[in-house]
Amino acid sequence: MDGGVRALSPGLPAVAAIEWAAPWLAPYRDPGEAVARAIAHSGTVAAALQDSKPPAVPDFVTQDALPEGQAYEAHIFRTRTVPTRDNLHDFFNGLVWLAFPETKRRLNELQAAEIARAGVGATRGPLRDALTLFDENGAVLDAPPALWEALVARDWQALFVTRRALWGQARLRVFGHALLEKLVVPRKAATAHVLLLPAAEGPLGDAALARCLMPEHMARKPFAPLPVLGVPGWCGANETPDYYDDPKVFRPRS
């Protein structure tokens, strides 16, 4: 191949298909495009991420650095390295590390503490389960109170139709790397678990979010489901109100 470009791993053909202009990728676009370009030269996701990371982010290593039988989160905490496979899932996990290093580190600290306390069993337990859910599928919403009220009530008509103009004052940040992976091929049913946070003063950035991840709060699974393609501007089809008349996606509160 020209210019020393190496063949991509069979697990990464979809990297070239990522639409970086998608609104949910806004926090990840600049590093994401750089890492995607680097993959063509490095041949591995770990090496491409490692070349782009700041000192505050743990080192990215290939998956074979994780010893057999070692818990993934405990290994990250002990070695300050992130075992990384050549697939989209771990590609997006790495991008979240680059964009939200303090939050990812806090999640890892809590996971590792629970593993040290209780070990690794057949089930994760309520705290680890909630931490994993947020890590994989979570999102954070900064919005006016009226939108929060509608979200918690699952009042989709109020959230997306009658109070639609308020979304101009809102910002939804997708945090979960599994959800980012799913959104490479967007489907209407793609749903985030929006973290219901204690009131925060000022903008909810990385450091503030990390401070809000308190074990006793997270163990209660404080999430509200949100079909993300219902967000105004995130899908052209949702410009008509009947987009939300789909009970399989926009489910009422039970």
25 lies in the same domain as 96 = yes
106 lies in the same domain as 204 = no
Residues 146 and 163 sit within 8 Å (Cβ to Cβ): yes
Side chain identity at residue 168, one-letter code: G
Last residue of a domain, one of 79, 97, 121: 121
Nearest to 246 by CA among 223, 234, 229: 229
What pTM did the predictor assign? 0.92
Separation between Cα atoms, residue 74 and residue 53, nearest integer Å = 21
Assigned domain for 181 exists: yes
161 lies in the same domain as 240 = yes
Assigned domain for 5 exists: no
151 lies in the same domain as 58 = no
Last residue of a domain, one of 96, 121, 146: 121
Looking at residue 202, its pLDDT comes to: 58
Separation between Cα atoms, residue 134 and residue 108, nearest integer Å = 12
Per-residue pLDDT of the chain (254 residues; tens, 9 = 90+): 333 333 445 546 678 889 999 999 999 999 999 999 988 777 799 999 999 999 999 999 999 999 998 999 999 999 999 999 999 999 999 999 999 999 999 999 999 999 998 777 666 789 999 999 999 999 999 999 999 999 999 999 999 999 999 999 999 999 999 999 999 999 999 999 999 986 655 567 899 999 999 999 999 999 999 999 999 999 999 999 999 999 999 998 87
Assigned domain for 130 exists: no
Total structural domains within the chain:
2
93 lies in the same domain as 153 = no
- Provide the residue range defining the domain that includes 74: 10-121
Nearest to 173 by CA among 237, 100, 113: 100
Assigned domain for 74 exists: yes
Assigned domain for 4 exists: no
Sign of CA dihedral 225, 227, 232, 234: positive
